[in-house]
């Protein structure tokens, strides 16, 4: 694990402890409902970050795998009719994750032959392919009529809780994987790819392998989150299960919090999702909502493209190095000089 400092572990224990206690402290259904979506996006953004933040390959097609996961759970528990429902879909999640990850390997291998803008284009196109498949494979997905899952037999008063903990579980899995990757050899390989892929290849980094593994891990978690989502929503349509807005939401949160950091995507999600739900509530999920979303998006991209956590840690690094009032011009160079944990001079 990366720099397993006491504060780092403590921070994780406190945050995840608080998250586990949350639905008991605030049992109101609408609050837990928002919390479920917050955790879902925190998981999506964290999973996206594993590829997009660490290796610099900007995927715009993660919603495709979210949809695949959602449809996998939906199809398994309607058509194949694995008897009853209850908690079974949750137990099927690891399998969904593994299958999505394996299926993605050949796709990743093809898509990762190109870089930067072209990779983004290919992944974006992949999203539309999967959406079109969901529309066209009528006998499996019921096309635009949508697919209904068997209603979960949970008690009404605590109906939300199993979904909350399922989301929390997948999110935690993605989070700790991300944390582990960041400090591992794989993480080092991914960062070297992000900084200069040709040079990384030149010094013997097995770039293709590293990229494909990151891609598979990233979309595996995304698929699992899709599975939980489908069971929670109970009725899925191609345009909502494979929604470009899901990708863009996750990307936006990773950028807001700070891509390439462990905590950034989570911070971004915890800020944006409640705000987003509030906006949807205020603006009635109408067309205005899309406009509001686009504006927030543009503001973040233009004014905070590096994200919250990198900006704060730069600030702290400057403080620690005893130069609190750095002129703005020196901002770009100062953190680099004091990088190793802010311990320089």
Partner 1 sequence: MHLFIQACILGLLAGGVYALMASGLTLAFGVMRVINVAQGAMIVLGAFLSYTLFTKAHIDPFVSVVLLTPLMFLVGVALQLVFIRPLRADEREELSLLVTWALALGIEGLLSVLYKTNYRSTITSYADKSWRVLGYHLSEVRVFAFGMSVVILTLLYLLLTRTEFGRTVRATVQNPVSARLLGVNVDKVSALGFGISVATATAAGAVFGMVTPFFPGSHYDLISRLLSIIVLGGLGSLGGAIIAALFMGMAEAVFAAEISPTWSSFTFFIVLIAILLLRPQGLFGTNERGAL
- Residues lying near partner 1 in the complex (CB under 8 A): 56, 58, 60, 110-111, 113-114, 116-118, 120-122, 124-125, 127-129, 132, 136, 244-245, 248, 251-252, 255, 287-295, 297-298, 301-302, 305
Q: Which is nearer to partner 1, 95 or 124 (CB)?
A: 124
CA distance 234 to 225: 14
Q: Tokens standing for 64? A: 């495709």
To partner 1, the closest distance from the beta carbon of 3 in angstroms equals: 26
To partner 1, the closest distance from the beta carbon of 290 in angstroms equals: 3
To partner 1, the closest distance from the beta carbon of 82 in angstroms equals: 30
- DSSP letter string over 197-247? HHHHHHTT--HHHHHHHHHHHHHHHHHHHHHHHHHHH-EE-HHHHT-HHHH
Q: Tokens standing for 31? A: 């609050």
Q: Which is nearer to partner 1, 31 or 248 (CB)?
A: 248
Q: Which is nearer to partner 1, 103 or 124 (CB)?
A: 124
Buried b (16+ CB within 10 A) or exposed e, 224-242: bbbbbbbbbeeebbbeebb
To partner 1, the closest distance from the beta carbon of 45 in angstroms equals: 14
CA distance 176 to 261: 12
Q: Which is nearer to partner 1, 136 or 234 (CB)?
A: 136
Up-side HSE of residue 342: CA atoms within 13 Å toward CB? Answer: 13
To partner 1, the closest distance from the beta carbon of 120 in angstroms equals: 5
Q: Tokens standing for 143? A: 């096309």
To partner 1, the closest distance from the beta carbon of 284 in angstroms equals: 12
Decide: 244 and 127 in contact? Cβ < 8 Å: yes
Q: Which is nearer to partner 1, 177 or 192 (CB)?
A: 192
Q: Which is nearer to partner 1, 12 or 133 (CB)?
A: 133
Decide: 224 and 70 in contact? Cβ < 8 Å: no
């Amino acid at each position: 694990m990366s720099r397993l400092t006491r504060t780092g572990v403590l921070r994780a224990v406190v945050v995840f402890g608080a998250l586990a206690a949350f639905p008991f402290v605030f049992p109101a259904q609408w609050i837990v409902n928002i919390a479920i979506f917050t955790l879902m996006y925190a998981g999506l953004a964290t999973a996206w970050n594993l590829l997009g933040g660490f290796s610099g390959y900007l995927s715009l097609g993660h919603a495709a795998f979210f949809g695949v996961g959602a449809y996998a759970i939906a199809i398994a528990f309607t058509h194949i009719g694995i008897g009853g429902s209850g908690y079974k879909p949750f137990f099927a999640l690891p399998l969904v994750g593994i299958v999505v990850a394996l299926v993605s390997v050949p796709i990743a291998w093809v898509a990762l032959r190109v870089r930067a803008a072209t990779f983004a284009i290919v992944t974006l196109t992949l999203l539309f392919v999967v959406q079109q498949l969901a529309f066209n494979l009528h006998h499996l997905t019921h096309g635009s009529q949508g697919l209904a899952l068997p209603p979960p037999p949970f008690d009404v008063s605590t109906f939300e809780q199993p979904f909350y903990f399922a989301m929390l579980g997948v999110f935690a899995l993605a989070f700790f994987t991300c944390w582990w990757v960041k400090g591992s050899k794989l993480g080092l390989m991914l960062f070297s790819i992000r900084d200069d892929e040709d040079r990384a290849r030149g010094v013997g980094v097995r770039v293709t392998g590293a990229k494909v593994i990151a891609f598979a891990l990233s979309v595996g978690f995304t698929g699992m989150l899709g599975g939980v989502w489908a069971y929670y929503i109970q009725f899925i349509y191609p345009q909502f299960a494979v929604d470009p807005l899901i990708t863009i939401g996750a990307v936006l949160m990773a950028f807001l919090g700070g891509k390439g950091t462990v905590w950034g995507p989570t911070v971004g999600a915890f800020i944006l999702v409640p705000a987003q739900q509030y906006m949807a509530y205020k603006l009635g999920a109408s067309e205005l909502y899309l406009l509001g979303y686009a504006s927030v998006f543009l503001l973040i991209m233009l004014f905070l493209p590096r994200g919250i956590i990198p900006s704060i840690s730069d600030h702290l690094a400057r403080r620690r190095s005893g130069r609190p009032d750095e002129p703005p011009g020196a901002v770009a160079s100062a953190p680099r000089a004091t990088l190793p944990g802010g311990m320089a001079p």
